[in-house]
């Protein structure tokens, strides 16, 4: 296969991707057929963040990605990967070239199917399972979680200060510690993903120690008919400093009236921040799907091309979005 058979598409060629995925994805993909979200995730000036592999004149496979920063060779998250039936080998070939094509130092994908993990191992990547942590608010009863074992670890008194930032200008004023996070994010990303997201409202907090903002923690309050849940969806900073959130989760749950706080993550030890790891021995159900509520434990899988200092959270890639069908 020659690399000349692969090309990145211009915005004027967008319909080729839409038509291909509508024919070969199996269902109508919500991010492809929702104009607002397609433009939000994939449009990049005169280009779209999709590469297509052509078998002759026909598209055999497509791969769409999301940038982690404004850099030309930004780290990326793979978002959509699809090959025509009978062309799986060409689909693997395209995936195997995505890091080279984009120049990304780190390439990852959030929420892959468990049964596809061997494909990523074959390509030399690292597939794994995200950890699901949670902390219950101390309530007499629970409407959303199914609590058979009310385990609420004692927390330390907060030794760091949590300050909410109103906009990206406030973040720029106090925070500059992007270098230790991989994939590497930047102000452009934080602004786009959390201050300018078209559907959800996020709460971006700076974690201050000794008068300096050492890291960022991003939360979202999920509201439904059954109640409210606090979701810790991103963290940017040194992995070890994640423990500085210890003591603050209870305060936030009380402030926002939330039943529990959960966190899907990899690369940090959330137990040091007062969370409980939901594993196969856990008797509780900490639902992931809340609108509508589905009281079932859900596992997330991912891959990355590099595990060194790698962190992943719920909102990475195209995750933590509305259920659009």
- Retrieve residue 68's tokens: 């982690």
Instruction: Decide if 314 contacts 220 (C-beta within 8 A).
Output: no
- Which pLDDT score, from 0 to 100, does residue 325 have? 52
Q: Residue 324 — pLDDT band, cuts 50, 70, 90?
A: low
CA 283 to chain centre: 26
- Which pLDDT score, from 0 to 100, does residue 181 have? 82
Within a domain: 59: yes
Q: Which of 60-64, 179-183, 224-228 has the lowest mean pLDDT?
A: 179-183
- Which pLDDT score, from 0 to 100, does residue 3 have? 45
pLDDT digits (tens, 9 = 90+) for 40-96: 999 999 999 999 999 999 999 999 999 999 999 999 999 999 999 999 999 999 999
| Residue 127, C-beta contacts closer than 8 angstroms, at least 6 positions apart | 112, 117, 120, 121, 301, 302, 303
CATH, residue 229: 3.40.630.30
pLDDT mean across residues, the chain: 95
For residues 144 and 276, membership in a common domain is answered with yes
For residues 287 and 242, membership in a common domain is answered with yes
For residues 201 and 257, membership in a common domain is answered with yes
Whole-structure pTM value? 0.95
Residue 1 confidence (pLDDT) above 80:
no
For residues 53 and 178, membership in a common domain is answered with no
For residues 219 and 292, membership in a common domain is answered with yes
- Which pLDDT score, from 0 to 100, does residue 159 have? 87
For residues 195 and 296, membership in a common domain is answered with yes
For residues 179 and 57, membership in a common domain is answered with no
Within a domain: 118: no
pLDDT digits (tens, 9 = 90+) for 8-51: 999 999 999 999 999 999 889 999 999 999 999 999 999 999 99
pLDDT digits (tens, 9 = 90+) for 142-156: 999 999 999 999 998
For residues 101 and 140, membership in a common domain is answered with no
Locate the DSSP E strands across 6-119: 6-10, 43-44, 47-55, 58-67, 76-83, 107-110
Total number of domains in the chain:
2
Instruction: Report CA-CA distances (Å) from 35 to 12, 24, 198.
Output: 14, 19, 12
Within a domain: 164: yes
Within a domain: 140: yes
For residues 145 and 78, membership in a common domain is answered with no
Q: Considering only residues 71 and 157, tell me which one the structure prediction assigns the higher pLDDT.
A: 71
pLDDT digits (tens, 9 = 90+) for 234-282: 999 999 999 999 999 999 999 999 999 999 999 999 999 999 999 999 9
Within a domain: 320: no
Domain that holds residue 171: 131-301
């Amino acid at each position: 296969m020659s690399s000349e058979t692969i090309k990145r598409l211009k915005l004027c060629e967008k319909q080729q991707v839409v038509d291909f995925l509508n024919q070969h994805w199996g269902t109508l993909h919500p991010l492809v057929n929702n104009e607002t979200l397609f433009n939000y995730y994939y449009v990049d000036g005169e280009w779209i963040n999709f590469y297509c592999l052509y078998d002759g004149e026909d598209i055999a496979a497509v791969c769409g990605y999301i940038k982690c920063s404004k850099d030309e060779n930004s780290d990326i998250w793979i978002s959509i990967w699809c090959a025509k039936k009978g062309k799986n080998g060409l689909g693997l070939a395209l995936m195997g070239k995505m890091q080279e094509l984009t120049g990304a130092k780190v390439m990852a994908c959030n929420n892959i199917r468990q049964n596809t993990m061997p494909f990523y191992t074959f390509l030399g990547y690292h597939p794994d399972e995200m950890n699901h942590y949670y902390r219950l608010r101390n309530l007499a009863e629970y409407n959303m979680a199914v609590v058979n074992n009310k385990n609420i670890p004692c927390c330390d008194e907060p030794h760091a200060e949590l300050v909410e930032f109103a906009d990206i200008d406030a973040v720029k004023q106090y925070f500059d510690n992007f270098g230790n996070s991989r994939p590497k994010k930047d102000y452009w990303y934080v602004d786009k993903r959390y201050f300018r997201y078209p559907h959800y409202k996020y709460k971006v907090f700076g974690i201050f120690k000794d008068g300096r903002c050492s890291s960022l923690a991003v939360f979202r309050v999920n509201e439904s008919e059954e109640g409210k849940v606090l979701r810790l969806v991103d963290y940017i900073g040194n992995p070890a400093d994640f423990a500085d959130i210890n003591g603050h989760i209870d305060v936030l749950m009380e402030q926002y009236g939330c039943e529990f706080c959960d966190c899907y993550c990899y690369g940090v030890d959330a137990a040091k921040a007062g969370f409980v790891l939901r594993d196969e021995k856990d008797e509780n159900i900490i639902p992931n799907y809340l609108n509508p509520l589905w009281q079932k434990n859900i596992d997330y899988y991912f891959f990355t091309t590099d595990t060194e200092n790698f962190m992943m959270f719920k909102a990475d890639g195209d995750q933590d979005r509305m259920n659009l069908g």
